[in-house]
Amino acid sequence: MSSQLKPGTSNACNITALSLACEVNDVLRDISPRWKMQVLHKVASGTKQFSTLKHAFPSLSDQILGKRLSELVNDKLVDKIILKEKAPKSIHYMITDKGLELLKIIDDLHKWGLKYLSA
Amino acid sequence: MSSQLKPGTSNACNITALSLACEVNDVLRDISPRWKMQVLHKVASGTKQFSTLKHAFPSLSDQILGKRLSELVNDKLVDKIILKEKAPKSIHYMITDKGLELLKIIDDLHKWGLKYLSA
DNA sequence: AGGTTTGCTCACTTTCGGGTGAGTTATTGA
DNA sequence: TCAATAACTCACCCGAAAGTGAGCAAACCT
């Protein structure tokens, strides 16, 4: 019983799978949602509040921004600092060490992408 | 006319978007399809044929494998070498320099993922 | 003559993620 | 008193991605 697998989860983690498999699947899955890494980058560069993030990405809706931020908090890529609980709330987001290390790699990915744009 | 945007394409490439935006979106989109990076890794480690790749990932279907391989070829991450055109065909896949450089970054991502598995 | 192998493609269904509209809380300022 | 503000959440829809079933070409082996 309970070899139930959430659909979409990496299920190739068997004997024949090599070292790179399994976790890389999951990491890619975690970082690829639209806007997520851009929001992380913005938070890292000092944009701490919901409303200022909102203005930074005019074509990103409140709903998706909220979703991405809660994902980032869940992933421990950013910390949520509650300065004032009751409305109008005051909340700051701050990038964690884990998030910073990820951003470095994302930046490499970005550079790689730029390098091969012409090719 | 033709400021038409393919849905799902990065549309945040406006004045307010910062350097990291735009292209990173597209790179992530390109590398995140399920199995794609694992297949790339396998090809890089010397598994060159459709049938052997198939055996390497028992839970990956022929159809998806075919799709991923054609994507990888389109992205110029692997080259398709046709040794024998007519059935039973003989075709080899070989990783490109572009693909190898990407794999290095994917490997960093993998290490990052492993580092924070416990946390 | 018929089964096997190699490397796929097409059509279809199901599942998932992005995006939208509306609603909420409670305080401050006009 | 009423609008505005900050930071969300919920319910829904729709298009795209994932996965499934079937079929195909042509040579080789029995």
Closest CA–CA distance from residue A15 to any residue of chain B (Å) = 10
* Residue B117 predicted with pLDDT over 90: no
Strand D nucleotides, any atom under 7 Å from protein beta carbons: they are 4-11, 15-23, 25-28
Q: What is the pLDDT of residue A32?
A: 96
Whole-number percent of chain B with pLDDT over 90: 69
* Residue nearest C15 (alpha carbon to C1'): A7
CB of A107 within 8 Å of a chain B CB? The answer is yes
- The answer to whether the CB of B61 falls within 8 A of the CB of B68 is no
Q: What is the mean pLDDT of chain A?
A: 84
pLDDT > 60? residue B119: no
Flag whether pLDDT at A18 surpasses 50: no
Give the model's pLDDT for residue A20: 56
Give nucleotides in strand C with any atom < 7 A to a protein C-beta: 5-11, 15-23, 25-28
Alpha carbons A106 and B106: distance in angstroms, whole number: 10
Comparing A5-9, A36-40, A87-91, A103-107, which segment has the lowest mean pLDDT? A5-9
Of the candidate ranges A7-21, A79-93, B82-96, the one whose mean pLDDT is the lowest: A7-21
For testing contact with chain B, the best of A16, A24, A30, A68 (most B CBs within 10 A): A24
Mean of the pLDDT values across residues B100-108?
96
**B23 touching A (Cβ < 8 Å):** yes
pLDDT of residue B23: 77
pLDDT digits (tens, 9 = 90+) for B41-70: 999 999 899 999 999 998 999 999 999 999
Whether A43 and A95 have beta carbons less than 8 Å apart is answered as yes
CATH classification code of B35-115: 1.10.10.10
- How far, in Å, CA of A38 to CA of A59, rounded? 13
Report d(CA A57, CA A61) in Å as an integer: 8
**What's the rounded Cα separation, in Å, for the pair A116 and B99?**
11
Residue A117 has what pLDDT?
77
Task: Sort out which chain B residues have CB atoms less than 8 A from A98's CB and list them.
Answer: 116, 119
Give A47's pLDDT tier (boundaries 50, 70, 90): confident
Count Cβ neighbours within 10 Å for each residue of A76-98 and write b for 16 or more, e otherwise.
ebbeeeeeeeeeeeeeebebbeb
Q: Does A23-115 carry CATH code 3.40.50.300?
A: no
Other C-beta atoms lying within 10 Å of the C-beta of residue B117: 8
Segment B91-107 shows an average pLDDT of: 97
* Chain A: closest CA distance from residue B103 (Å): 10
Q: Where are the domains of chain A?
A: 23-115
Instruction: State residue B118's pLDDT score.
Output: 62
CB contact under 8 A, A24 and B55: no
